Amino acid sequence: MTNRTLVIVNATGRQGASLARVADAVGYNVRAHITTKLSEQDGAVAKELRQLKNIELIEGSLEDPKLISRLFVGARRAFINTISWGDEVAIGKALADAAKKAGVQHYVYSSMPDHAVFNKGWPSLPLWSCKFTVENYIRQIGLPATFVYTGIYNNNFTSLPYPLFCMKLQPNGGFQWTAPFHPDKPLPWLDAEHDVGPAVIQILKAGPQKWSGHRIGLAFQLLTPRQVCEAFARGLRRPCSYKRGPITVEVPIPSGYRSQLAGIEELFGKWEAPYFGPDIQAPDEALGLWAGYRGMEEYAREVFPVEEAANGLTWMH
């Protein structure tokens, strides 16, 4: 590999930061984009990335055409994970156009399904369907690309009162997770910080000759909600139970996320639709890329208490 420049968009997100750390360690020259609207947590990640020897940080808005036009110059590989910084479809298309113009040879795009395409009775999830629209555009312009569909982050769980993945602390010191998912229907799971980087590095290593045009379900375990709670109970050595119920919102959230939650409740609660849609299977391809994944029990034991302590919680003491 003569050209070792790798562009990462959203390098302070869980997916991008995971890849940046691994790519730096194996000798890529990483051009890492970060938005200037950094949260306090993102600021800590950006500070970490600045200390890595093979990473150049590019700060700015993805709504700036000049920044996008220079982002890919001289690069042959890219990993793109956009979030709702603005018009995500327009940003996604502009990034793809710039990458094609610069001659990027392998473009790995973090996509998600639009379930309404597969079944007219299923709702489109607004934070996912925009990614599917961009994926189709990437295919249309002929950019050599691979599309990774990430499972549910293990790291979503918190005992803070955030909707959908709140592990609510109980009076007996245990936890209860309430969500609309069927208790015995498997869902795909991923420790994004631990496992996205090693898996995507293997995709880049094999190149577009193997993976161009392919969708990969990036999840390393299929666990039912009951099995998730059993893994938490083993990892934490505390009781943990699952209760099927509606999503409750106890804290202020953006309106777009509120719409996403309503769609999740209908799509996976009422219709029990397959998480990735009917065409993507997990975890076999992900395991073929990276066998050293962090499972749910290990996450609960080793990481969940650390993240909780970082949020100012003290239940683990």
C-alpha closest to that of 124 among 31, 259, 312: 259
126 vs 55, 96, 151, 169, 220, CA distance in Å? 33, 21, 17, 31, 25
* Mean pLDDT computed over 83-109: 94
Model confidence at 2, pLDDT cuts 50, 70, 90, reads: low
Of 83-97, 110-124, 125-139, where does mean pLDDT reach its minimum?
83-97
Beta-carbon contacts of 78 under 8 Å, excluding residues fewer than 6 positions away, are: 6, 7, 8, 9, 72, 99, 104, 106, 107, 108
Q: How far is CA 222 from CA 85, 109, 282, 303, in A?
A: 31, 23, 7, 19
Quick one: pLDDT at residue 125?
97
Q: What is the pTM of this model?
A: 0.94
Whole-number average pLDDT of the chain: 94
Residue 287's nearest CA partner among 210, 189, 184 is: 189
Rounded distance between C-alpha atoms, residue 151 and residue 158, angstroms: 17
CB 14 within 8 A of CB 192: yes
Residue 206: which residues within 8 A CB-CB, separation 6 or more?
A: none
Rounded distance between C-alpha atoms, residue 180 and residue 266, angstroms: 9
Average pLDDT of the segment spanning 140-146: 98
Backbone angles phi, psi at 316, to 5 degrees: -80, -5
CA distance 147 to 139: 10
For 151-163, write each residue's pLDDT tens digit. 999 999 999 999 9
At residue 158, the pLDDT reads: 98
What does the pLDDT average to over 170-183? 98
Q: Read off the pLDDT band of 223 (50, 70, 90).
A: very high
**Mean local confidence (pLDDT), 165-174:** 97
Residue 42: pLDDT band (50, 70, 90) is low
pLDDT of residue 37: 55
Q: For residues 300 and 236, is the Cβ–Cβ distance under 8 A?
A: yes
> What's the mean pLDDT in 13-37?
92
